Copies of this chain bind each other. A is one copy, B any other.
Amino acid sequence: MAREKNEPAPMFTQLGLIGCGLMGGSFALALKRAGLVKRVVGYSKSPTTTERARALGVIDVAAESALLAVSGSDIVLIAVPVAASEATFKAIRHLVEPGVLFMDVGSTKRDVVDAARRALKERVGSFVPAHPIAGKEVAGIEHADALLYSGRQVILTPMLQTDPVLLQKATDVWSAIGSQVLKMSPENHDAAFAAVSHLPHLLAFAYFSSVAKQPAGKDFLSLAGPGFRDFTRIAASDASVWRDILMSNREEILKQSQRFRHQLDALEHVMKLGNSEALEDLIRSASQARSGWQMGAPNKSGGSR
């Protein structure tokens, strides 16, 4: 899937950026750094944010509307909270023209694809849904980072109608900024990320609250060590971003939570029985599997991609 080294880099005249936050800003900086774009026109709902993005040099021109950010662009990145996707598609639909690459960066894909179908109708083929597996616990344009996507996976979830030329362009531009591109269906994407990203966030929020909210919580927190620190790191994630993700993918997340509860029940059951051997077996199977896991390691079994 990687681009050949000697192929000319894809080049765009103008990136229209809708949503000047961490994700959008980092994409703009990455394209600029790689010399892939001449000009970035940006729009954010808050004029202060748009102005800050301009002052920081993340965008070159501030647009007064999403539609104006699209006007004249040959690549458009929609980097808004997933719940705002449909309104954004509606706002720009008159300028969604063939040959212009439209992408998003949302952590859920079924809802975004559905919103795109509803709002863009016959123009939906210009939209290539994208989810870069990257982020920080801090949000906002001031944390934008040209290297945020470098060495990270990006999942594209094309529809039947997706223009294959634009899908290739999308693959090329992410590859050119150092990402590894994978393709899967929106359904498989949402099931996978409910399991490996959304549920852990939900559990981390629940766990941190359960400690912090108890009477001796402050005392307990002052004793916590490095295991606790790493386990709860994602509990510091942005509340509005995660509200949207948990809400829009809740069906899959609740299914994954059921699986988790079954495992927790099994562990607690053997603890209550005092069955040390069974407890050790359950722990060992988790411990060995985790020891053998490596981030970004290709799945040798083949599978659903």
Contact = CB atoms under 8 A, between A and B. Distances in A.
Contact of A305 (B134, B192, B219, B250): B219
Given A196-B220, A254-B271, A295-B226, A205 B283 contact: yes
Contact of A203 (B207, B272, B283): B207
- Copies of this chain present in the complex amount to 2
Interface string A266-305: 1110011010100110111111011101011111010111
Contacts of A182: 223
Given A216-B191, A295-B225, A290 B232 contact: yes
Nearest to A295: B229
Contact of A246 (B211, B259, B271): B271
B263 A221 contact: no
Per DSSP, chain A at the interface is helix
A46 interface: no
A151 to B, nearest CB: 11
Interface in A227-252: 227-240, 242-244, 246-247, 250
Contacts of A263: 205-207, 209-210, 213
18 contacts: A135-B227, A192-B219, A195-B211, A195-B214, A204-B231, A207-B263, A208-B290, A209-B263, A209-B282, A209-B286, A210-B263, A219-B303, A219-B305, A226-B295, A239-B284, A239-B287, A246-B283, A247-B276
